[in-house]
Each structure stands twice: as C-alpha cells, then as structure tokens.
Structure 1
Amino acid sequence: MLQSVTEQVRDDRVAALVELAVFPDPEQVEQALAFYEQNEEAELLAYIEQGEMLGVVGFKPSGDKEITITHIAVDPGSRGLGYGRGMLLDLMVRERPERVIAETDEEAVDFYRSVGFSVIGLGESPSGLERFRCVYEADEEE
C-alpha cells in the first residue's frame, strides 16, 4: 500500500530509501530530501507491506494529466519481487495521469522498459553516465 511520507522525508528509513535513488553522494542525497521539503507539488510515497517500508516513489505534476517520477527505489533485500512495478502501477491508479515521464541511467532503463515505458537515449550526462528519457502513455481503458 502506498502512503505519503513527504512530511517524514527526514526520517532515517525514508531518507535511506531516497538515498538508494540518487548518486551516493551526501550532497545529492541532501538535494533530494530538500526537493520534497521545498516543492509543495512534489510528493513522496512509501510502499508499506505488513508494517515494513519496502520502497519509495516520488513524483511531481509536470503538465496537464502528466507526472514526472523524481525518485524510485526499492530496499535491496526486496528487489526483483515486483515492488517497483507495483509502486508505479499503484501510483498510476492513484493519480490517473495520461503520461508518466522518468529520466534514468543505464542501470534502471530496463526496469522502465519492462513496465511498458518507451525509452529515448539522451546521451551522456556531465558525470559521464548515459541518460535516458522514459515515457509511459496510458491508454484510455487503463
């Protein structure tokens, strides 16, 4: 079940999951946490099962009936079990966007492909990592 944790972004467990979604640099982690504190439209949701926080997904509106995934992470011990996919699907049911956008690196691009996102290469970032824009267009029946 997805539950808002935007107000608890500094909680150790929430912050640890957000840290998994960014480059492991204390400055990047701080920027990610501050993003949710400073942007009223942004929301951070945690996937909680049997009282255990297994993952987080953050997003913000980015257009009419469009949202952008800002962060997504699953606890390493729970990866590969469908929690990431489940969080995205639950988010889409909750928000009902027509389009979902994410930007990611080579490590996570196959995850987005497996969920049905189309992928466009963006080239290398200043840090030298290949970046990708992932877009999901919802069908009217979805």
Structure 2
Amino acid sequence: MLINMTDSHWDHEVRELLEDTFYYDPSEVDKVMDQYRASGSQELYVFEDQEEFIGIIGFTMDEQNQLVITELVIHPRERLKGYGRGIILETIVLKNPSRIITITDEDGADFFRNIGFQITGLPANEEGMEQFRCTYEVEIDAEEE
C-alpha cells in the first residue's frame, strides 16, 4: 500500500530507509526531506507491506501528465522480490500518467528495462557517471475509455 508522506511528519523508519538505501550522509537526507516538504509539485510515497516500510517513490507530474520519478528506493533486503515493479504499478493506478520518465545509472536502467521501459543513453553527468533516460508509455485499457 502506498502512503503519501509529502506533507506528513516523517517517521523515523522513512528517514532510516532513505539513509540505509540511498543517502549515506544524514545531511543529504535532510536536504531531500526539505525539498519534498517545500515543493508544491513533488510527491513522496512510502510503500508499506505487512506494517513494514519496504520502499519509497518520489515524483512530479508535469503539464503533459508525465510522471517523472525522482526517487525509487527499495530496502536492500527486499530487492529482487518485485516490490519496485509493484510500487510503479500502484503509482500508475494512483496518478494515471500518460508516460513515466526517469534518469538513472546503469543498474537502474537494467531494472527499468526489465519491467518494460525504453532506455536511451545520455551523456555522462558531472561526476563522469553514465546516465540513461528510461521511458514507459502508459497504455489505457479500452474498458477505461
């Protein structure tokens, strides 16, 4: 189940999940948390399963109804169990975007490729890391039209 954390008090478990899986510097976690709190356009959701926080997805919706993923974090012990794909599917149901886009590294691109995203190579970032644009065109079921 996705729980909107954008405007709520950030639980210690959410902070710990960000620290353990993505940001190793507590000041970086503070920056990310402040960014989501201050932004009117960014949303942050935590995925809970059996009363445990498993992962986080952060995104914006642009004027073309495109969902731009800025964070997708799965707790290390829960990886390779389908949670990342599940979080994206729940987000599609919740927000009904026309397209999903994210920019990621090679490992992230492999994940997104495996769940049906189209991958395009981009120039390296400032640190020299190879970057990839991952795009998924969301199909509307004929029954929903």
Instruction: Report the TM-score, using the length of structure 2 for normalisation.
Output: 0.88
Task: Tell me the secondary structure at the aligned position of residue 109 of structure 1.
Answer: helix
- Give the aligned partner of residue 82 of structure 1: 82
Deviates more, 1:34-43 or 1:50-59: 34-43
Q: CA 1:120 to 1:28, structure 2 compared with 1: closer, same or farther past 3 Å?
A: farther
Q: How many residues align?
A: 141
- Give the aligned partner of residue 14 of structure 2: 14
Q: Aligned-pair distance for 1:26?
A: 4.2
- Give the aligned partner of residue 57 of structure 1: 57
Q: What CA RMSD, in Å, does the superposition of the two structures yield over aligned residues?
A: 1.8
* Distance in 1 between residues matched to 2:9 and 2:118, nearest whole Å: 30
The within-5 A match list for 1:126-137 is 126-137=126-137
Q: Is 1:32 equivalent to 2:26 in the alignment? A: no
Instruction: Report the TM-score, using the length of structure 1 for normalisation.
Output: 0.89
- Give the aligned partner of residue 125 of structure 1: 125
- Give the aligned partner of residue 44 of structure 1: 44
Amino acid at match of 1:36: Y
1:21–1:71 Cα contact (<8 Å) kept: no
- Tell which structure's C-alpha radius of gyration is larger: 2
* Distance in 1 between residues matched to 2:131 and 2:80, nearest whole Å: 22
Instruction: Give unmatched runs, 5+ long, in structure 2.
Output: none
Instruction: Give unmatched runs, 5+ long, in structure 1.
Output: none
* Distance in 1 between residues matched to 2:132 and 2:31, nearest whole Å: 21
Identity of aligned residues (%): 35
Task: Tell me the secondary structure at the aligned position of residue 128 of structure 2.
Answer: coil
1:42–1:60 Cα contact (<8 Å) kept: yes
